[in-house]
Amino acid sequence: MDELDRQILDILRRDARTPYTEIAEQVETSEGTVRNRVERLTSDGVIERFTISTRTGNIKAMIEVSVKVEVDTTRISELMAEWEEVDFVWQVSGEEDVVLVVDAADTRAVNELITKARELDEVKSTKTRLILDERLGRSP
């Protein structure tokens, strides 16, 4: 991981469809070098995946979920990852155990999701925050 890698990642993070030739021009190297590096970064797992970020609805939110002590959080995470409108499920350290990042049509849809979570026996409590604004960092 050197400065060139970081520059390439930065460009892809902003637009993963930027052609290798154009990246090469921007970072002042050849297309082949960019391609080799992207391949290496991908196989090394630095690039986890090429993906899209979406906004299907008008609301993004994070729902923090506390589960009972004896519950397998991995199983709960798998379950919740299958729910409509859930973008990510994080298992986290700290007070809560699982965080859902959701993209929903409206507040009603978010509320339904919260209800669905609360209805599970394994769930002790939830805490929801609406994401009012998302800003892309310059990392890495």
Partner DNA sequence: TATGAAAGACTAACTAA
Partner DNA sequence: TTAGTTAGTCTTTCATA
Residues interacting with DNA, by CB under 7 A? 4, 19-22, 29-33, 35-37, 39
Amino acid symbol at 68: K
102 contact partners, CB below 8 Å, separation of at least 6: 59, 60, 61, 62, 63, 85, 86, 87, 110, 113
- Angle subtended at Cα 104 by Cα 96 and Cα 136, rounded to the nearest 5 degrees: 75
What the block records as the tokens of 10 is 């930065």
Q: Which does 16 bind (CB under 5 to 8 A by kind): DNA, a second copy, none?
A: a second copy
Q: Which does 85 bind (CB under 5 to 8 A by kind): DNA, a second copy, none?
A: a second copy
Amino acid symbol at 93: S
d(CA 137, CA 79): 30
| Residues contributing to the site for a second copy (CB under 8 A) | 1, 9, 12-17, 45-56, 62, 74, 77-78, 80-94, 96, 99, 101-103, 127-140
Nearer to DNA, 4 or 101 (CB): 4
Closest distance to DNA from the beta carbon of 32 (Å) = 3
Closest distance to a second copy from the beta carbon of 120 (Å) = 16
